[in-house]
Structure 1
Amino acid sequence: MSAPSTPRSCVVLGCGRSGTSLLSGLLAGSGYHLGRTLLRADPSNPKGYFESGRINRLNEQLLAPYTTDVLRAADGRPLAARPLREGERWLAALPAAVPVARPEALADDLRLPPTDGPTARKDPRFSWTLQAWDPALADSVRVCVFRDPSATARSILTMTDQGDLGLGLEGALAVWASNYRRCLHLADSERGEGRRWVFVHYAAILDGTGFGELEDALETELDRSFIDPELQRSPVGAPPEGEIAEVYAELRTRAGLAAAG
């Protein structure tokens, strides 16, 4: 009988409030190392974020030069009251092809310490900073988690409504769309480089139908005991339209799902 293969390491990316924490909790329960010091659970994520504070801080530094302006619509209208501050750059909305630089001053920090067993690194900011982390994440499977855009946008607003950012529904949807345009761009740009991308819908994690390609790519079976159907808390709103509908349809296609009804 042949020995089981070693699970492949991965990086979890996708817009914040889209189910990336759910997947990361599954990975943590399946023997993956998520980092030494993880963010604490809170009412927004009662089961935890599974994000390394160190990695978040580095990604904030990488994104700081690109987030000095207020979020704007295509016609130039401001969609927020002010630019993003430290700790808020998971809400970045940038052009899909923006080249986020790898500063020489951070070269030593953008290395990952060795661990026993497979690693999983998760931060919504990775949608923008992923390439700056090469070669540390070059061999990691890219797992992009997505969710209905209206549910994600409403969850973003629930999480940010205590501050003065002034991000309304249109702004939250713009964050969703720009994040996934970026993920699709990265997946296409890495085609042919031997880097595996998996797109998985949040609902397909909850109901178990999204594990086939995911477990195949990671070369391991995931422990599903972390799944709690009660985590589906944000209601789905009206069907997406225009560019958002196009992005959502492409994500569903890459996840092997039928068009949204």
Structure 2
Amino acid sequence: MTTGNASKTAGPGAPGAGRSAYLVLGMHRSGTSAVTQVLALAGATLPQNVMPGDTHNAKGYFEPWKIAMFNNQRLRAGGSAWDDVFAFPHRPLDAPAERGWLDRALALFEDEYGGVRHPLLKDPRVTVLLPFWRAVLDGVGVGARCVIPVRHPLAVAGSLGRRDGFAPEKSVLVWSAYMLAAEAYTRDLPRAFVGYDGLLGDWRAEVSRIEAAHGAPLPRMTEAAAEAIDGFLTPDLRHNDAGRGLKALGWAGEIAGQVLAWFEAAAADQAPDPDGLAAPARALAERQREVGVLVSPTTRDLDAARTELLEARQRLEFLEADVDALRRDAAAAGARLDALLAQD
């Protein structure tokens, strides 16, 4: 279910504490979309502007694309990016700059969720920016209940390799950074660790664990919601197997293996000591001291370049659509002219 301090029912997000957001935290491609849709069908409220599905996730991402774009910008402002292996720990900006980002985030949150009682926020980038987003939630008077999917890092690496072309070593390190952040930043919040395979195998048991960890039922777990969840959680959601072992990935695999062991224990209700993640966190921090000054700025700049390329492609698609429309209009006008001339 949770670690010992995770099942508290007092404090932010506890029953009776007013509005509470459901935060789905963890790494990209690790089951966050599936968990989010389960929570949405059970009554939590998705944002106004949801990212649509694509060939990599046909059933949808269920995340606010405007907030995702904002988070990319905020990560780059801190010298990082969503795929930075050293995105943990969080990098706060100086107070005046951070205030400006907070004001923008507050406005975004209000635009996406308004005054709903249980906002549902799923953007994996929130995980490594959680100290920032907790300040946003505090600013709007909203508590937090966290759900953290646990999926084998090699399954995540397989998905990222196909989608983004990442080497497995990079993928498992980014996964480790996100998972370390998810644990470190939620120790004082109601939280549940949910095995991805367990969710697909017996989602009702996992929902019961989530409710027990939060000390509160999901907002609207009706029979109709259960039927909808049955229809959504189909075997095709299991896209990638873990494949070969982490040991083949050297020191990156060793760090990921230690993180995985802790989270698998947490998802199995074994209540591991949070200090059990100290060793992999230190190992990652040591690598950051050695090469972080080279890795993080390069990752940030590549992310900025990808964003500019994507925006240029989108502008080109809009222009091509305008040209096609003009061609159709010209063809129609020509046909009308030919018809008039034929009458003469």
Within a 5 Å distance, the mapping from 1:96-245 to structure 2 comes to: 96-101=88-93, 103-111=98-106, 112-113=109-110, 114-138=114-138, 139-161=143-165, 167-187=166-186, 190-191=187-188, 195-208=189-202, 209-216=205-212, 217=214, 218-220=216-218, 221=221, 223=226, 224-225=229-230, 226-241=232-247, 242-245=254-257
Q: 1:104-149 CA distances to partner (integer Å, 9 max, x unpaired)?
A: 1122222222233411100110111111123443511121112011
Q: 1:177 Cα deviation (Å)? A: 1.5
Q: Distance in 1 between matches of 2:47 and 2:87?
A: 29
Task: Tell me how far apart the structure 2 counterparts of residues 238 and 35 of structure 1 sit (CA, whole Å).
Answer: 38
- Match in the other structure for 1:32: 44
Equivalent of residue 94 in structure 1, options 86, 89, 103: 86
**Which protein is richer in helix relative to its size?**
2
What is the CA–CA distance in structure 1 between the aligned matches of 2:25 and 2:242, rounded to whole Å? Answer: 21
5+ long unaligned stretches in structure 1: 69-88, 162-166
Aligned mates of 1:45, 1:38 — CA distance in 2: 13
Residue 233 of structure 1 aligns with an amino acid whose one-letter code is H
AA paired with 2:175?
W
* Structure 2 gap segments, 5+ residues each: 1-14, 248-253, 271-344
Q: CA deviation at 1:100?
A: 3.4
Instruction: Please say which structure displays the higher CA radius of gyration.
Output: 2
Map 1:53-64 onto structure 2 (within 5 A): 53-64=65-76
Aligned partners of 2:19 and 2:64: how far apart in 1?
21
Task: Letter of the 2:100 partner, please give it.
Answer: A
Structure 2 CA distance, aligned partners of 1:107 and 1:18?
Answer: 28
Quote the residue 1:50 is aligned against: 62
Question: Helix, strand or coil: the match of 2:104?
Answer: coil
CA contact (8 A) 2:156 2:240 kept: yes
**What is the number of residues matched between the two proteins?**
225
Cα pair 2:49 2:65 within 8 Å, conserved: yes
Letter in 2 for 1:237: G
Distance (Å, rounded) in 2 between the aligned partners of 1:115 and 1:207: 35
